[in-house]
Structure 1
Amino acid sequence: MPFGFIRELSHPEIVFNTERQWFGERKVGVKQYTESLKQHHVKVMVKPQIWVGRGAFTGGIKMTSEADWKVLEDSYTGFILTYAELAQELHVEIFCIGTELEGFIDNRPEYWKQLIVDIKKVYKGKLTYAANWNEYDRTPFWEYLDYIGIDAYFPVSDEKTPTVEACRNGWLNYKPDIKAFSETYKKPILFTEFGYRSVDFAGKEPWKSDRDMNVVNMEAQTNTMQVLFEEFWNEDWFAGGFLWKWFHNHKDAGGENDSRFTPQNKPVEDLVKAQYAN
């Protein structure tokens, strides 16, 4: 997952692939990790993402002038084609053209359609876009992609420790629409991100990563994850998903006192392993 950085929501220039970034956020890191994963027969999606200063939500990116929009478009094209070319070089199975960029897309839809054309000139694998859970039904270019990508942080339960039954009922608010959307476009659904934290109220606002949410609740994480697997994994219109978040230093990741997203060294890890072993 290579990253590009912009200073604020209205700043048009994306900084990427610099020595100041973490190893895995740069070309050299993406290349090394992808080659290692392929040696272990793991399928790969390269998913370049934007990080906005102070953690502002990327869906709110919006320029204040036509000139700045043009600068942003040129900058984003350079960013995304850099990694599309790398994905082709590495024979990556899926390339994601963007993540949760609703405002950018709403304001510049024709740019995005041309960007897809340009990406296809350099990358010959499957394409998707990672739409936020409440954005996917307004994304205007699914017909040009191979998968309908959704970052699947749907709220499924307000309970402190969500039960399996509550989570299953919660999915009734979304699953029929997701299925119908897949059928309309005749494209499979891909969860470009999914996951739950091991905290109280894990199913209420699953996208939240606030540090003050720190009351560990392993059962909440396990129940929410179990239901997601049971509801989607065997559907013929569902292509699978990419779990948020797994760290390479497994023995030091997660654990019984960890309240973050990773399932590593937690009860839910066995559930995840069993699901991906099938």
Structure 2
Amino acid sequence: MNAMKRAAAALAAVAALFVAGCSSSGDDGTPGPSGRPDDRKVSGLRGMTLPSWNTDDYSSPQAATYLRQIADTGARWVTFTPTWYQDRVTDSAIRTTEETASDDSLRHIIALAHSAGLKTMVKPHVDLVKGGDRAEIRPRDTDAWFDAYRRFITHYAQLAADTGVEQLAVGTELAGTSGDGDHWGETIAAVREHYKGPLTYAANYDEYRKIRFWKDLDLIGIDAYWPLGDKATADTARLRQAWQPITDELAAFSAKQHRKILFTEAGYVSQRGTTTAPYSWTVSRRDGGAEQAAAYEALLATFDGKPWWAGVCWWMWDDWPDSGETAKKLAYTPHGKPAEKVLRHWWGKS
């Protein structure tokens, strides 16, 4: 994470292809008869992200515990985020580091998730070695960067196919390159040669309207970190009101693109002021558990049941032992906080 009409008939056709809302079940995410995006079925997501920061996170003893805890919230999906790195925003080389989840560990946790009754999405990330915003990646040599990126993403496409992953993201928040429809179209075609399941791209909330390749994908993915005001609040009604113009915009965008919208990420730290900058890990040092819970409630109450909304994958569950840079009581995790009770209420595990 770093810190959306045509005719009603057309929208109805889209709804027929996909399960309505995040509470749906039964669809297995497999391709339709022709394998084209418009013929696929994509499950609604009640999801949680479990990112990795080290080679062996996903094979650690804590992995099975985290997955059981996630399933206990009522979640049906879990997202994994293997990450490769580049040194500078202008570079073309992308590589693994000691912070990249090993393939064996990723296979291990996918199998554990399936054993826990969870469906899986793999959402590979590209980050910068010394930190910074991946949205700023603008390679000097575009062709070379996309060649490297295709090797990276088709590697995970094949791993996803081999392990029965139910959904794959072809990219995350790469706003510096995502306007290049031709290169991305070629990349998505290469991914489909390896992986036949549903595909999305995780666009940042201020990026999704600039993308030209939604037609090549099965779902519009948005990392939904919209600021909901300029003052801290735990007033759910105010937060729902703030969502309303965004909701109208997303409904129209979904209809225009003939695709449902999945919140590939959404989340709030448990810090006072989190709703003013949901993309920030460090809004304040003051406890904001009530504000985090209100933000969860407002999002789910606003979007639940919308026929064009495909669900949410929250950022994020607990950090791995000794790896968290933010204290758990202030971090994005809802675990053990009022926000977890909100999830359990909405997802049927109260």
CA distance in 2 between partners of 1:158 and 1:219 (Å): 17
Find the residue that maps to 1:62 and give its secondary structure. Answer: coil
CA distance in 2 between partners of 1:273 and 1:248 (Å): 20
Other-structure match for 2:216? 144
Other-structure match for 2:48? none
Q: Is the 8 A contact 1:157 1:201 kept in 2?
A: no
Q: Is the 8 A contact 2:274 2:280 kept in 1?
A: no
Shift of 1:130: 0.2
State the AA in 2 paired with 1:71.
Answer: A
Higher deviation after alignment, 155-164 or 180-189? 155-164
Paired residues for 1:197-276 under 5 Å: 197-210=269-282, 213-247=284-318, 258-276=329-347
TM-score by length of 2: 0.72
Higher deviation after alignment, 126-135 or 166-175? 166-175
TM-score by length of 1: 0.90
Shift of 1:273: 2.5
Other-structure match for 2:35? none
Find the residue that maps to 1:174 and give its secondary structure. Answer: helix
Shift of 1:157: 2.2
Kindly tell me: are residues 124 and 277 of structure 1, through their superposed partners in 2, closer, same or farther at Cα, counting changes over 3 Å?
A: farther
State the AA in 2 paired with 1:69.
Answer: T
CA distance in 1 between partners of 2:106 and 2:158 (Å): 12
User: How many equivalent residue pairs?
Assistant: 268
CA distance in 2 between partners of 1:72 and 1:144 (Å): 20
Consecutive unaligned residues in structure 2, runs of 5 or more: 1-80
Higher deviation after alignment, 25-34 or 262-271? 25-34
CA distance in 1 between partners of 2:278 and 2:216 (Å): 29
* Consecutive aligned runs of 4 or more in structure 1 exceeding 4 Å deviation: none
CA distance in 2 between partners of 1:57 and 1:145 (Å): 24
Q: Is the 8 A contact 1:48 1:83 kept in 2?
A: yes
Paired residues for 1:18-37 under 5 Å: 18=97, 20-21=98-99, 25-37=101-113
Q: 2:131 aligns with which of 48, 55, 67?
A: 55
CA distance in 1 between partners of 2:280 and 2:232 (Å): 15
Paired residues for 1:131-170 under 5 Å: 131-170=203-242
The CA RMSD over aligned residues, in Å, is 2.2
Q: 2:152 aligns with which of 72, 75, 79?
A: 79
Find the residue that maps to 1:149 and give its secondary structure. Answer: strand
State the AA in 1 paired with 2:173.
Answer: E
Q: Does 1:2 align with 2:82?
A: yes
Shift of 1:248: 7.3
Find the residue that maps to 2:252 and give its secondary structure. Answer: helix
Q: Does 1:98 align with 2:171?
A: yes
State the AA in 2 paired with 1:183.
Answer: A
Q: Is the 8 A contact 1:3 1:26 kept in 2?
A: no
Q: Is the 8 A contact 1:199 1:220 kept in 2?
A: yes
Q: Does 1:44 align with 2:103?
A: no
Higher relative contact order (CA 8 A, sep 6+): 2
CA distance in 2 between partners of 1:203 and 1:8 (Å): 31
Shift of 1:55: 2.2
Kindly tell me: are residues 54 and 203 of structure 1, through their superposed partners in 2, closer, same or farther at Cα, counting changes over 3 Å?
A: same
Q: C-alpha deviations, 1:238-257, integer Å up to 9, x for none? A: 1111110013769x99x996
